[in-house]
Amino acid sequence: MNKGDIIVSLDIGTSKIRAIIGEYNGSTLSIVGVGSADGEGIRKGSIVDIDKTVHSIREAIEHAERMVGLQITSAYVGISGNHITLQPSHGVVAVSSPDREIGNEDIERVLQAAKVIAVPPEREIIGIVPKQFIVDGLDEIHDPRGMIGVRLEVEGSIVTGSRTIVSNLLRCVERAGIQNAGLVLMPLAAGAIALSSDEKKLGVVLVDIGAGQTSVSVFENGALAALSVLSIGGDHVTNDIAIGLRTQTEVAEAVKLRYGHAMVSAASNEITFKVPRIGSNVEKEFTQAELANIIEPRLQEIFLMIKQEVEHLGFVKEIPSGYVLAGGTACLPGIEKLAEFELDSPVRLAVPDHLGVRDSSFVNGVGIIQYANRHYARKNSVSVAPVQRKSGSFMERVKGWFSEFV
């Protein structure tokens, strides 16, 4: 990457669409622009209304553009959702150069070889996450570039997704006038900024609790080992509040953001607020502790589901580095303590430590920029100013997603 390079990310979420502009000066990332818009047209992380989504993407992009005075023409697009699956794969090639030195081209070929597997027609191979390379039988190699060998193997996971969902996502981005610079699997992106390499090596679970979905990603031996997305999130908490306080969803959401607390025992009886009630002209007063009484059980349920999912993914033993929470719902005060108790493991919050965005709902967006800088920048570094549109089908253009190391 060159000094002053600009990278733009798009996180298309259920409640919010975020466009983030990052600038690299040497190895330092600064967030120079952030734009967001309500994620209308998205349910549980999937697009259900193209026009509304296109409109929201435009709004988020224009918002970010105004902050920096640049025109955004392309962006790295985050992808997640319960349609994404990982399956093990293995590729092997002979090293091509006469001096047997392994180069980029050999790595590209071995990753391609690992992608040669049959998938049903409704699914699309969207990339590969390499776990380790093996050179002439020597394993646990993370970057074989420059090594000498005859036989190069890769072991990893093939990432597949629903063809329909992926096409609709890309169609919306394209119709919003943005060229897709590359798709980035959001758990990998979030892992790039939220997790240390030691955590990833020892074993850690990254949990992104958004509005409509909660993604659970297990990292082990330095790589993404398993991923699952549950259709539950902050929207359920808001619905519970609306029912519990007998008020409108918008009021419940506002009350949650302002007074919400994850733990009844730590919430205050002194902090009070009034809400208009459905079917009544009189506002009723509640305490923060009463609100926490509604929030805590739903979060307990979410953490129970997360714990069961981690076990279901095959990780029955204790997770050495514990859990790291991201996503908007992780902003609820007291959630760390509650999670520690419910998950019976160490828990910490992921907060992107970059200018202006100390908020765990930005972990994905900032992570995409970091990930793209590390892994794609050599191929596509232009994301602002006029960019010529490429031709070819959506699928043609996004070939090679994640074809790099974690």
Residues engaged in binding ligand ATP (CB under 6 A) = 13-16, 39, 45, 210-213, 233-235, 238, 253, 256-257, 260, 327-329, 331-332, 361
Selection from ligand ATP, Mg ion, none that 328 binds (CB < 5 to 8 A by kind) is ligand ATP
Selection from ligand ATP, Mg ion, none that 222 binds (CB < 5 to 8 A by kind) is none
Residues 6+ apart with CB under 8 A from 324: 194, 195, 199, 204, 205, 206, 207, 347, 348, 349, 350
Q: Label residues 215-252 b or e (16+ Cβ within 10 Å = b).
A: bbbbbbebbbbbbbbbbbbbbbbbebbbebbebeeebb
Q: Label residues 301-314 b or e (16+ Cβ within 10 Å = b).
A: ebbebbbebbeebe
Residue nearer to ligand ATP on the CB measure, 161 or 260: 260
Shortest distance, position 1 Cβ to ligand ATP, whole Å: 27
**Per-residue x/- marks for Mg ion, 6-25, CB under 5 A?**
-------x------------
Selection from Mg ion, ligand ATP, none that 235 binds (CB < 5 to 8 A by kind) is ligand ATP
Residue with tokens 């974690």: 406
Shortest distance, position 129 Cβ to ligand ATP, whole Å: 20
Lookup: tokens for 270: 């002194």
Residue nearer to ligand ATP on the CB measure, 288 or 329: 329
Lookup: tokens for 21: 């502009």
Q: Label residues 77-108 b or e (16+ Cβ within 10 Å = b).
A: bbbbbbbbbbeebebebebeeeeeebeeebbe
Listed residue (252, 257, 255, 258) closest to 239, CA to CA: 252
Shortest distance, position 176 Cβ to Mg ion, whole Å: 18
**Per-residue x/- marks for Mg ion, 200-239, CB under 5 A?**
----------x-----------------------------
Q: Assess contact for 197 and 327: CB atoms under 8 A.
A: no
Residue nearer to ligand ATP on the CB measure, 14 or 383: 14
Handedness of CA 145, 151, 155, 157 (dihedral sign): positive
Handedness of CA 181, 184, 186, 189 (dihedral sign): negative
Residue nearer to Mg ion on the CB measure, 182 or 210: 210
Listed residue (203, 216, 199, 212) closest to 303, CA to CA: 216
Selection from ligand ATP, Mg ion, none that 144 binds (CB < 5 to 8 A by kind) is none
Number of H helices, E strands in the chain: 11, 18
Residue nearer to Mg ion on the CB measure, 215 or 288: 215
Shortest distance, position 399 Cβ to ligand ATP, whole Å: 26
Selection from Mg ion, ligand ATP, none that 233 binds (CB < 5 to 8 A by kind) is ligand ATP
Stretch that binds Mg ion, among 5-13, 69-77, 304-312, 341-349 (CB under 5 A): 5-13
Residue with tokens 């920048």: 377
Shortest distance, position 332 Cβ to Mg ion, whole Å: 15
Residue nearer to ligand ATP on the CB measure, 17 or 93: 17
Shortest distance, position 233 Cβ to Mg ion, whole Å: 8
Shortest distance, position 257 Cβ to Mg ion, whole Å: 16
Selection from ligand ATP, Mg ion, none that 16 binds (CB < 5 to 8 A by kind) is ligand ATP
Residue nearer to ligand ATP on the CB measure, 149 or 328: 328
- Torsions phi, psi for 273 (to 5 deg): -155, 160
Q: Which residues contact Mg ion by CB under 5 A?
A: 13, 210
